[in-house]
Chains A and B, each alone.
Chain A
């Protein structure tokens, strides 16, 4: 086997193109996490309110994302929105929409959990000490809530980065798609390309996700109590 095939990764601009594709993946996850977090905070606050119908609706919203696979959501939005709304929605826009809504549901649940786990007596003690409600939030509630939310949120971010690999299936040009293009182009010159290209993409994902999951574990241990 004179041609190992690993050279294909470094031929021409292949290396940069693959990294560029990874960037698309990261971009979609990042935008979705930002939008999802903002919506999720609102949703989490709403879910602690005392309105039964509101709780039910938001719970159903969360369960819809937990029960139906994300790929199904991508298909549903991708195949039905463009014809329905008579506008051409790109794969990226579809992906950001679906991932943001998913993020909002999951972050909403994390925020709700953090808020509900806060012991009531802390608020009461704070008030007894004469703290204003602004001070109460600033010094007591928010720092603790953030601690409780961080591990789960970072975990969600890792899951999102991994799940964005699916957007190739609705036609987004990201790292897997670029890998496929490189493999197709080199089909005669580098017949082993798929082994190296997919292996490389595998490692790329690991390099992005591993630090995130380490971070989440670190926070979990540090702030366990």
Chain B
């Protein structure tokens, strides 16, 4: 296959911009999702009346619907009832709505994995519920949750590929435009795949390294 290298060099800045957009989106959405997840999992742990039920409903709703439909609803549906968000805000809200539930589940399973005897010991030496969470549960739960938190981060980074559907100039949109305008299909797709490899591969390698470390810490040698 003969690739048009001039075309590739010329399109690089476009892909660069789109990658930057993806990184921005992913970083903001992952951070917000982590914050939501931590808060919500603590609410579930303390079984806060009323709020727990709402959070459980949110988790199920968010995990069982596609991001694309969530984004379409936010972007095309909400303005009809008077709530107009920019494309970027929509993408952040949608991805945080999706990511928040995944992160909640990840933290929750970490918290559940902390031994019951530890909770009882903590309570018996007179720790308050907040102290218990702060000094006993969270440090251990975090270590246990790291692999799934990382997997969720990668999941969210990949999900950013969908924001082009609400008119953001992301990698998918750039590739589609270039194919439509110049018929340089092979070049555009090659750059598209490479862009995602550059974005996701390092994170994925980092995650499997961390996972090995955590496993080592869990079981010793």
Contacts and interface: CB of A to CB of B under 8 A. Distances in A.
Contacts of A194: 72, 76-77, 80
A80 B192 CA distance: 13
A183 B75 CA distance: 14
Interface string B189-206: 100110011001100100
Nearest to B78: A195
B69 A176 contact: yes
A209 B64 contact: yes
Nearest to A209: B64
B51 interface: no
B69 A198 contact: yes
A75 B162 contact: no
B70 A202 contact: yes
A223 interface: no
Contacts of B76: 183, 194, 198
Contact of B69 (A66, A191, A193, A201): A201
B65 A209 contact: yes
Chain B interface bracket (under 10, 10 to 19, 20 to 34, 35 or more) = 35 or more
B35 interface: no
Given A68-B197, A69-B159, A166-B162, A198 B73 contact: yes
Given A69-B159, A83-B185, A168 B68 contact: yes
B27 interface: no
B80 A165 contact: no
Given A67-B196, A195-B81, A198-B77, A72 B172 contact: yes
A34 interface: no
Nearest to A165: B66
Interface in A58-94: 63, 66-69, 71-72, 75-76, 79-80, 83
A68 B65 contact: no
